[in-house]
Amino acid sequence: MDAFKAGKLALAIALTGVLAGPAFAATSNDFVDAAASGGITEVEAGKLALEKSTSADVKTFANQMIKDHGAANDKLTALATKLDIEVPDSATLTQQAKQKVLEMRDESFDKAYAANQVKAHEDTVALFKKEAASSDKPELKAFAEKTLPTLEEHLKMAKALQAKHM
């Protein structure tokens, strides 16, 4: 496997691995961990897309991810604090993801970013649907229900971006 393919694979693992496993969160604490880690990664990936991409549509999408996931992260943190649930600090993970993205060639960034956004949002939608359907905390259930339409719209936007940058 050449260095480019290895970097691309590492990016996929770093950006989507945050959400893929926890999509089946068993408890509210698991949901908070997965949602917070995923949200932090979305913001960091969006910031990196603003640096690396040369496409206006990718930058527009990235700005939307930074804005929406940043706001959701703030709401989740406040809610988790109220419920006495610890919110993870995923700085190390996001730094690893950023490093893997930086290793990629510039001409492939938009394609890889769009593909990873589709996978990440598919996993996130599944995570939030599960929490909305079966949460043991009414406050987290309400948060998941309220946030879900935005995440579904993000998935739709990511799929359109991916189709454009294939």
CATH number at residue 18: 1.20.1260.10
Residue 106 within any structural domain of the chain = no
Residue 91 within any structural domain of the chain = no
- Cα 36 versus chain centre, distance: 9
Residue 37 within any structural domain of the chain = yes
For 62, the domain range is: 3-85+111-164
- What integer pLDDT is reported at residue 54 of this predicted model? 86
Quote the number of domains for the chain.
1
Query: For residue 75, is pLDDT > 90?
Result: yes
Residue 159 within any structural domain of the chain = yes
Residue 95 within any structural domain of the chain = no
3 Cβ contact partners less than 8 Å away, ≥ 6 residues apart: 103
CA pair distance 42, 66, nearest whole angstrom: 7
Region 32-37: mean pLDDT is 89
Percent of the chain with pLDDT over 70: 73
Give me 52's structure tokens: 């690396």
- What integer pLDDT is reported at residue 52 of this predicted model? 87
Give the ranges where the chain is alpha helix by DSSP (H): 3-20, 28-52, 56-82, 91-102, 109-134, 138-164
Residue 156 within any structural domain of the chain = yes
- What integer pLDDT is reported at residue 21 of this predicted model? 39
Residue of 146, 148, 112, 130 lying closest to 16 (CA atoms): 112
134 Cβ contact partners less than 8 Å away, ≥ 6 residues apart: none
- What integer pLDDT is reported at residue 121 of this predicted model? 94
Region 152-165: mean pLDDT is 96
* 3 state SS of 27: coil
- What integer pLDDT is reported at residue 140 of this predicted model? 95
CA pair distance 71, 86, nearest whole angstrom: 18
DSSP-assigned letter for residue 162: H
Lowest mean pLDDT among 35-39, 43-47, 94-98: 94-98
Residue 93 within any structural domain of the chain = no
Higher pLDDT, 120 or 10: 120
- What integer pLDDT is reported at residue 153 of this predicted model? 97
- What integer pLDDT is reported at residue 112 of this predicted model? 86
Residue 115 within any structural domain of the chain = yes
Residue 118: pLDDT band by 50, 70, 90 thresholds?
A: very high
Residue of 32, 48, 49, 38 lying closest to 119 (CA atoms): 38
State the chain's mean pLDDT as an integer. 81
Is the distance from CB of 50 to CB of 63 less than 8 angstroms? yes
- What integer pLDDT is reported at residue 88 of this predicted model? 80
Query: For residue 135, is pLDDT > 60?
Result: yes
